[in-house]
Structure 1
Amino acid sequence: MKVGKSGKSKGVKIKINGEEKIFTDKGRIESEEAASEEQEQQDESFEWILPDETSENKMVLVPTPPKKKMPKLIGFGASSRKGPESRPLKTFLIAVICAVFFGSILGLIAVKTITREKAAVPSVETPISTKAPVEDKKAAVKEKGTQLKTFLVQGGVFSSEDAARQVQKKILGKQVPAEIFKLEDSYYLFLGSAESLASSKELALFLKSYDVDVYWKEINLEAAGKSGEDEKNLIKMKTVYASLAEISAAKLRGKEATVNREVLKKNLNELKAAKVSGELAKMNADLSAAAQSITEFERSKKEDKLLQAQGSLLDFLLNYQNTSS
């Protein structure tokens, strides 16, 4: 048997018993031909796809990223009233704002009140029994003889008279009365007088509004008359002094005195008509000047008139002290 191929391998040649027979592979040839035809059809059906020139100029929209949500702020607008849970917070904020607002207003009022040139100073309650002030008011009268108990506003105590006079000059420049008293080895500066120790404390707080340093003090003064008539006049002067000190100090503090004006007027007239020595005449003039200043205040309501009355009473005390020397 021979197997042969010629050209395109048209078949298989087999020699049997001296005879050659050719067997063709029709199925394979047919399949090859079919594949060849299909390839040709595919080649013929192939199309070139060219890019569209107009698509190059088309705009491409790129989606923007979503915006981040900002945190919500708590306010007083409609958004803060969406739920009942926000009401307590809103109420608290309103309360805080109102407190700050009214606190600021009250603070401004307080500052203006304190910095006024002549601020009104409230009275200070003192832990004294109800009977004590009544006894103090009449202390100047109850002292036997010519001894005089006084309740004064003190502006300082100094070891030398020169130092006291320097401070006195500054206080007088503020329209506040001031007199220097020598007691033992010290020099005291007194600014006013009242009818009791409790009243002298209140008067001291009032005078502090004039920007002066103040204290309160009780002192006893002794006078000596040259005759029996002088002794009688000194005792009457003590009564008049106590009444005038109470009236002027009470009016400076915005209060009313409990002095019997008719008795006061009678005693003043008797002192004016009395024949007194030269030293007592000065004291009598001081009391008359204090009474006149109080009368002028009641007509004009000018505070400086009461301060003048206080100054005249301090002059009286200074002359009263000098009569014992």
Structure 2
Amino acid sequence: MNKPAKQNQITIKINGKDNSFYEDSAEKEIIDIEAGEEAETAATIENQLESFDWNLPEEQNEGNDGHFSLSKKNTSPVIFSASDKRKRKATIIKAPLIAVVCAILLGTCFGYAVLKMVTSTDRKAVPVAAPAVESRPVAAAPEVVLPSINSFMVQGGVFSSEQAARKVQEKLTDSSVPVEVLRLDNRFYIFLGMADSLEKAKSLAGYYKLKKVDAFWKEITVSGKGTGSEDDKKVLGDMLALYQELAKNSAALLLGTEAKAEVKTAAAKINSLKPKANSAHAKELNDMRGNLKASADLIEKYQSSSESTMLELSQEQLLFFLKNYQALLSKE
């Protein structure tokens, strides 16, 4: 019995269908696909080229039956479609566009941050002006009337004109008698000294009569319309108290009686008197303070030298004090 001729078989999968082809070893006859099926298959392949599954053949060793077949190498087919092409094309376009947008955003953020830093630095460097505060004038301290002074005087004469009084003053000065002219009630008085009472003033007038000087006793009031601050008023009050003390001591020593007050204590009080530098009466107050200090110093010199001239000069400084005080009260 003759053996069938050995044939080679080739299997191709088209559209999910297996198609086998045989080649006869003797006649090498090729089995073709029918014309209608071939035309249909070609049309299908052309229309669905993008979705065609390419299954690469894997060569197999010839088996016992001498057939070769193509089989899948991977379970997942590789598909290339038109939508994939459009996606790849869009990706190619989007990539540089995204990079440009990101660069713009980063540049904008960086520029804003730098601008913020610069503006904040400028604000710190420029000082902000404080709001204007409406200035209100400070109310001046109210003025007070300065106190008047009462004194018991030794009078050397009274005149209707200042010129006549000045002539007598010159004569008494040449006789080494303390003297000062004061205007009271439109009259000009010549005063030689003072005491702490009218009785003491009368006794002191007798002292000057012994020197052949006409002398009388009189109580006077030195007053005026002068005003000043509360500080001025206080300083004047302290000065008037020291004036009365020095007049009492100097008169007592001239009359031969012992002074009761300690002169050094009075001098210490005078040194503590310090008128305000901004006072409107600073000059007058300082001059009066100087008169009190000179009177106290002369009394102290008398205590060490026993010269009565020191006491007369001490009284003269008190007369100067009254003259300055009268000028202060007359000041407007």
TM-score range, shorter chain: 0.5 to 0.7
Misfit runs of 4+, over 4 Å: 260-263, 272-276
Alignment of 1:103-142 (within 5 A): none
Mapped pair 1:287 → 2:289: no
1:148 Cα deviation from its structure 2 partner? 1.1
Give TM-score, length-normalised by structure 1: 0.53
Q: Which residue of 2 aligns with 1:302?
A: 307
CA distance in structure 2 between the aligned counterparts of 1:273 and 1:317, rounded to whole angstroms: 18
Kindly provide the amino acid, as one letter, of the partner of residue 226 in structure 1: G
1:225 Cα deviation from its structure 2 partner? 4.7
Residue 314 to residue 175, structure 1, CA distance change in 2 (3 Å): same
Deviations 1:54-112 (A, max 9, x none): xxxxxxxxxxxxxxxxxxxxxxxxxxxxxxxxxxxxxxxxxxxxxxxxxxxxxxxxxxx
Bigger Rg, which one = 2
The question of whether the paired residues in 2 share the 8 Å contact of 1:145 and 1:235 is answered with: no
Match of 1:249 among 245, 248, 251: 251
The question of whether the paired residues in 2 share the 8 Å contact of 1:155 and 1:190 is answered with: yes
CA distance in structure 2 between the aligned counterparts of 1:292 and 1:225, rounded to whole angstroms: 30
1:264 Cα deviation from its structure 2 partner? 2.3
Q: Which residue of 1 aligns with 2:152?
A: 151
1:170 Cα deviation from its structure 2 partner? 1.0
> Matched residues, percent identical?
40
Q: Which residue of 2 aligns with 1:209?
A: 210
Aligned length: 182
CA distance in structure 1 between the aligned counterparts of 2:314 and 2:274, rounded to whole angstroms: 18
CA distance in structure 2 between the aligned counterparts of 1:176 and 1:262, rounded to whole angstroms: 26
Mapped pair 1:176 → 2:181: no
CA distance in structure 2 between the aligned counterparts of 1:304 and 1:266, rounded to whole angstroms: 23
Deviates more, 1:258-267 or 1:303-312: 258-267
CA distance in structure 2 between the aligned counterparts of 1:207 and 1:148, rounded to whole angstroms: 24
Q: Which residue of 1 aligns with 2:240?
A: 238
The question of whether the paired residues in 2 share the 8 Å contact of 1:252 and 1:306 is answered with: yes
Q: Secondary structure at the match of 2:329?
A: coil
Q: Which residue of 2 aligns with 1:78?
A: none
1:173 Cα deviation from its structure 2 partner? 1.1
1:254 Cα deviation from its structure 2 partner? 0.2
Q: Which residue of 2 aligns with 1:100?
A: none
Kindly provide the amino acid, as one letter, of the partner of residue 220 in structure 1: T
The question of whether the paired residues in 1 share the 8 Å contact of 2:198 and 2:217 is answered with: yes
The question of whether the paired residues in 2 share the 8 Å contact of 1:152 and 1:216 is answered with: yes
CA distance in structure 1 between the aligned counterparts of 2:274 and 2:297, rounded to whole angstroms: 13
CA distance in structure 1 between the aligned counterparts of 2:233 and 2:292, rounded to whole angstroms: 17
Q: Which segments of 5 or more consecutive residues in structure 1 lack a partner in the other structure?
A: 1-143
CA RMSD of aligned residues (A): 1.9
Alignment of 1:42-81 (within 5 A): none
CA distance in structure 2 between the aligned counterparts of 1:251 and 1:153, rounded to whole angstroms: 16
Residue 272 to residue 256, structure 1, CA distance change in 2 (3 Å): farther
